[in-house]
Structure formats: structure tokens, C-alpha cells
């Protein structure tokens, strides 16, 4: 598994907090590293950024011809069905395996925020909502917000977890937020001209946030689509969001 | 020929100046567009940015297996030797053909600055120095500064223009600057840890600028290499440099 890590200059003076950026369908560790524009702001605010890959890779790893299943499309779950079961354990990889590698080997504090885009926004939200003790700040760019009711979700959850939909709900941020809420506030950015709005379903998440009086904000950004230009434009705000929360004195 | 154009919001209120960005070896129109970070600053300063490709493309176009010759490596010359002669006319493409397309079809002023990286920095310098009436501002990132004396240059100039080296000197910015100077000032940024310093030869250009008392600055940037992270970091300074000169009242 390849991942990228940005370490800011402030790490020379002591360990810095970590921001996890989870990428979307088809991406590797490299896309956001080269196109997201986070490092400039992470350098300014003194936080490390970790960019994991989106799936296991390699000739010995199961795959599918579709862009939205298999390699590049791990969906941040632990697969229980073959042929995916042996390698597709992206949930555990983010929650524990890579986290240990990062904390044990890089000049960072054990203090974490998490964000991501599209499938990675789904990953950030679901992983944080299920592990609130592990993360102190949370945001997402155009997340797949309600995958149990979307073609970006039903196909993959069925393939990785089987047809019993009761196993899917713990990977749906709208359902998780409705059930558990989140201890802090949440920043969601969504392009109003996103070509995938029907698949992302931001209205499901916005609705549950409003009904639950969940602190946070959902920003529908005029004119923006689903691309890295959208991410790059608001990278500044998200890094600031996480930095403000991660640099607070811990309670 | 594919090119990219960024048009800033200010173009709604009237035509804006143009900054040309010429890319380096192996790049298409897309690399700097997605990784350079220029658009944010062009939006702030109200200038358009044009990203040309680095060569003709396609199955009917001559090519070479090497990364540094043929498609993706036009070197901004008009080839006079086969098999390159029919299509490899990147000098004319930048100086006149694409310029007409841009000025005639986009909401821009006929007022231009030019910059570029590596082979594209070579292109920006040589094209501006030979056509000072066409450009009002000039900069470069890690340019191939003295190609007639470098393996990044001798191979390509020989292939495209033949072995008579007298035909090469009008494509060498160190020689051109020595002979003609430049009407304005020039900004050169160069990474001090660039892995290609022996091929780029910034010392040749720095020497002639100092000897000729050419207004401008050569900045040797501590710790930076040849990558897009280097370009992205200083994109702000270069856009400001061009904007300050292009927005001045024309004389």
C-alpha cells in the first residue's frame, strides 16, 4: 500500500496534528497530493496531511472492469464477500493499520482530523462517525452522502458486503448521523453544478443535519462542479477548519 | 492542437491581458492547468492564462521513443529536418497561429506576457527575446538556459534543425540575451536542489544578465527541485509579476 504524507515545517519544532484526506473513485494517493492544493495551507497552519490510496492494488488483487468497483473503488469498507474479502479492508486500513504506521513513524501528534472527496467524503464521514474517539475534526467535499440509496453505493455495498442491506447502514453517513450525531461541528462543501448531484444526494445529509440540530454547515457552492478545481478552491477553508479544531487544547 | 485557456471573472467587464505558460518535456496542455496553481492568482489579478501543448500529436505525426524528442518535446522551434519538418513548427504556433486564435476568439486584450518551465522556460525566453514587440512581460521557471551547450538542447536542435550549429543560436536564451538584451525586466526562479541543474545551466543566464546589466532577478530558491510543487509555490509571484506589467498603461 502506497500513501503520501505532507509534513509541514513546524514539525521541526515538535509533533504536529494530522489531517487525513480520503480520495474518490479512480484516485490513488497521488491525485490530491498533486492537484488538491492542501499543502500550502497545511504549511501555513502547521498540520501534516496523509493521502491514502483508495484500495489495495496489484496483479494478485481482485478487480473489475468498471471504474467504480474493485481497484480504485474500495469504498472504505471491510469486504466480507469473495473475490474481495482477502484484500479489500480499507476500513481497517484507515482506522487502525495506516494510523499506527503514521503515528509510530512520522513527527506527528496522535491527534487527527479527517476529510475527503466524493467516495472519500463518504469514507471520512462514516469512519469519523463510527470512531468519534479517534477524530477531533470532520469535513467533506461533495461526499456520497447516502450510498444505501444511490447507484454509487448499492452496487458496491452489495458486491463487498452481500445483499443483506442491514449490513450496509453502518457505511451510510446519513443513517449514522441520524442515529449517533457527531460530537463536534461538521463542514460540508458541495458544488451546486456538480454533475453527480443525483448520485451524491447532499439533500439527505443536509436534511438530517437540520432535523438533528447537528452543529455544522452545508455550503452549496454556486457554479462549482465535482472536479479538483472545486477541491483546490476550498482546500484553504477546510485546512483552516481542521487546524482551528486540532490546535485547540485537548480536554 | 489542444490548448487550455483560463478566463478570469474580470473578463465579464472587458477584455483582459494574456499570460502564456509554456510547458516542459513530456507535458501536454493539461499538466500546468491541473498542477501549476496559476488560476487562483490569475483570478485575483484579472489576467487570462493560455496553456499550449508542447508539440504536435497524433498517429500521423513523427515521434521518437525517447521522452525528450518528438511528441511532447517540440522545443519551440520550426523543424527544418525530416521526419520533423512537416509538423514540428511550435515556434510559429506560439508566435502567430495560436496567438491569432486566442486574440480573435477569447475576451482578451492584444497584450501578452510569457512564462514557462524547463523546456517551456527556454521557449518563453527565446520567443520573447526574438519578438519583443509581441510581449510586455517575461519570466521563467527553471529554464533550459543554454541549450546549445547542454544535452537538453544539442540532441534536439541537431534533430530538428540539422548539425549546422549556426542555426541553433537563435534558440538559445543566453546567446539571445547577450546579443539583444530585453526591453523590460526578467524574473527567473530556479530551485537550488533541482535534479537537472547540470542540464539547465542557470549560471550561463545569470552571468550574461549580470554582465549586460540586464534588469531583472535570478532567484536561486533554497530546497526546491524541478517539480510542479516548485512551480506551484512561486506561481503567485509570477502572476503578480506579469499582472503588474501588463496592467500598466501602454506607451
pLDDT tens-digit readout, B63-92: 999 999 999 999 999 999 999 999 999 999
B35 → closest Cβ in A34, A40, A233: A34
Main-chain phi, psi angles of A10, to 5 degrees: -60, -20
Q: Where residue A249 falls among pLDDT bands split at 50, 70, 90?
A: low
- Whether B29 and B1 have beta carbons less than 8 Å apart is answered as no
**Nearest chain B Cα to A36, which residue?**
B35
Chain B closest-CA separation from residue A85 CA (Å): 36
Among residues B186, B196, B188, B203, which one has the least CA distance to residue B227? Answer: B196
**Nearest chain B Cα to A227, which residue?**
B34
3-state secondary structure (DSSP) of residue B190: strand
Do the chains contact at B35 and A35, CB–CB below 8 Å? Answer: yes
Our count of domains for chain A comes to 1
User: What is the set of active-site residues of B?
Assistant: 118, 194, 226
CATH of the domain at A100: 3.40.50.1820
**Nearest chain A Cα to B41, which residue?**
A233
Integer-rounded Cα radius of gyration of chain A? 17
Determine the straight-line distance between the first and last CA of chain B, rounded to whole angstroms: 34
pLDDT tens for residues B195-238? Answer: 999 999 999 999 999 999 999 999 999 999 999 999 999 999 99
* DSSP assignments along B13-36, one per residue: GS-EEEEEEE--TT--SHHHHHHS
Do the chains contact at B233 and A40, CB–CB below 8 Å? Answer: yes
Chain A closest-CA separation from residue B185 CA (Å): 28
Do the chains contact at B228 and A39, CB–CB below 8 Å? Answer: no
Look at chain B and count its residues: 251
pLDDT tens for residues A113-171? Answer: 999 999 999 999 999 999 999 999 999 999 999 999 999 999 999 999 999 999 999 99
What is the interface pTM, i.e. ipTM, of the complex?
0.79
**Nearest chain A Cα to B236, which residue?**
A40
Q: Is B13 exposed, middle or buried (0-12, 13-18, 19+ CB in 10 A)?
A: exposed
Percent of chain A with pLDDT over 90: 98
Residues of A with CB under 8 A from a CB of B: 34-35, 37, 39-40, 228-229, 232-233
The C-alpha cell at A174 is 446519513
Q: On the CB side of B120, how many CA atoms lie within 13 Å of its CA? A: 29
Do the chains contact at A232 and B35, CB–CB below 8 Å? Answer: no
Do the chains contact at B37 and A37, CB–CB below 8 Å? Answer: yes
Substitution target from A9, A30, A40, A227 for chain B, most B beta carbons within 10 A:
A40
User: What is the set of active-site residues of A?
Assistant: 118, 194, 226
**Nearest chain A Cα to B228, which residue?**
A34
The C-alpha cell at A249 is 487544547
The C-alpha cell at B114 is 510569457
**How far, in Å, CA of B108 to CA of B102, rounded?**
8
CB count in 10 Å sphere of residue A57 = 15
Residue B250: predicted pLDDT? 56
Substitution target from A5, A27, A32, A34 for chain B, most B beta carbons within 10 A:
A34
B54-76 burial code (b ≥16 CB/10 A, e <16):
bbbeeeeebbbeeebbbbbbbbb
**How far, in Å, CA of B175 to CA of B197, rounded?**
18
pLDDT in tens, chain B (251 residues): 999 999 999 999 999 999 999 999 999 999 999 999 999 999 999 999 999 999 999 999 999 999 999 999 999 999 999 999 999 999 999 999 999 999 999 999 999 999 999 999 999 999 999 999 999 999 999 999 999 999 999 999 999 999 999 999 999 999 999 999 999 999 999 999 999 999 999 999 999 999 999 999 999 999 999 999 999 999 999 999 999 999 986 54
- Whether A94 and A52 have beta carbons less than 8 Å apart is answered as yes
Do the chains contact at B40 and A232, CB–CB below 8 Å? Answer: yes
Domain of residue B214 covers 3-247
Chain B closest-CA separation from residue A220 CA (Å): 20
Main-chain phi, psi angles of B49, to 5 degrees: -125, 130
CB count in 10 Å sphere of residue B30 = 13
Taking the model in full, what pTM does it have? Answer: 0.88
Do the chains contact at B37 and A39, CB–CB below 8 Å? Answer: no
Residue A134: predicted pLDDT? 98
Amino acid at each position: 500500500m502506497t500513501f503520501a504524507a505532507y509534513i509541514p515545517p513546524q514539525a521541526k519544532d515538535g509533533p504536529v496534528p494530522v489531517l487525513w484526506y480520503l480520495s474518490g473513485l479512480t484516485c490513488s494517493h497521488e491525485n490530491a497530493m498533486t492537484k488538491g492544493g492542501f499543502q500550502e495551507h497545511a504549511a501555513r497552519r502547521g498540520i501534516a496531511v496523509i493521502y491514502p490510496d483508495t484500495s489495495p492494488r496489484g496483479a494478485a488483487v481482485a478487480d473489475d472492469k468498471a471504474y467504480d468497483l474493485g481497484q480504485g473503488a474500495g469504498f472504505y469498507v471491510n469486504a466480507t464477500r469473495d473475490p474481495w474479502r482477502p484484500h479489500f479492508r480499507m476500513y481497517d486500513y484507515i482506522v487502525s493499520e495506516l494510523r499506527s504506521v503514521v503515528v509510530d513513524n512520522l513527527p506527528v501528534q496522535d491527534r487527527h482530523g479527517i476529510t475527503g472527496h466524493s467516495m472519500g467524503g463518504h469514507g471520512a464521514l462514516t469512519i469519523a462517525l463510527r470512531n468519534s474517539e479517534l477524530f477531533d475534526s470532520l469535513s467533506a467535499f461533495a461526499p456520497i452522502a447516502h450510498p444505501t440509496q444511490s447507484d454509487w453505493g448499492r452496487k458496491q455495498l452489495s458486491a463487498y458486503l452481500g445483499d443483506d442491506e442491514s449490513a450496509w447502514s453502518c457505511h451510510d453517513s446519513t443513517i449514522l448521523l441520524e442515529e449517533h450525531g457527531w460530537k463536534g461541528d461538521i463542514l460540508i462543501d458541495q458544488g451546486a453544478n456538480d454533475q453527480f448531484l443525483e448520485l451524491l444526494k447532499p439533500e439527505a445529509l443536509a436534511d438530517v443535519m437540520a432535523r438533528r440540530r447537528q452543529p455544522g454547515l452545508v455550503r452549496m457552492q454556486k457554479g462549482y462542479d465535482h472536479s479538483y478545481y472545486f477541491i483546490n478552491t476550498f482546500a484553504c477553508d477546510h485546512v483552516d477548519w481542521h487546524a482551528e479544531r486540532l490546535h485547540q487544547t485537548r480536554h
